[in-house]
Amino acid sequence: MQSSPPPETVSDSPARARSFWQSLGFAIDGVLHTFRSQRNARIHAVIAGLAVICGIALRISQAEWAVIVCLIALVIGLEVLNTAIEALVDLASPTFHPLAKIAKDAAAGAILLLALGSVAAGLIIFLPRLWQLIF
């Protein structure tokens, strides 16, 4: 009687990080996959770049930078999480199911709410400085 190999050597088992660096590589792969496959992630990245350019040009404070950086990280991070949720839902429910739709719509809604909040914070930070430049 032949014994089965340990789970980590079975070819169809998920890859597990054996080191910090391998774990970091898997995380980077997830972020890169999101930017390659999700148009909205690329849109968020462009808007983040514009916010950084505005922050530099308008010389925002350290506290304002902290807010901008945290919001950029949250929006991009939630976009990556949304990509993971969509992949899991597609795997679990390859055909249409109302609960699958709810899961995908709710994840997308979370990004929408965070993006709208980020725009509001950006307006609070940038508008007064822009107003001073114009008037």
Dist. CA 32–CA 50, nearest whole Å: 20
The residue annotated as part of the active site, out of 8, 64, 79, 86, is 79
86 is catalytic: no
Dist. CA 47–CA 45, nearest whole Å: 5
| Tokens linked to 68 | 């901008």
Distance of CA 6 to the CA centre of its chain: 34
Active-site residues, by number, are 79
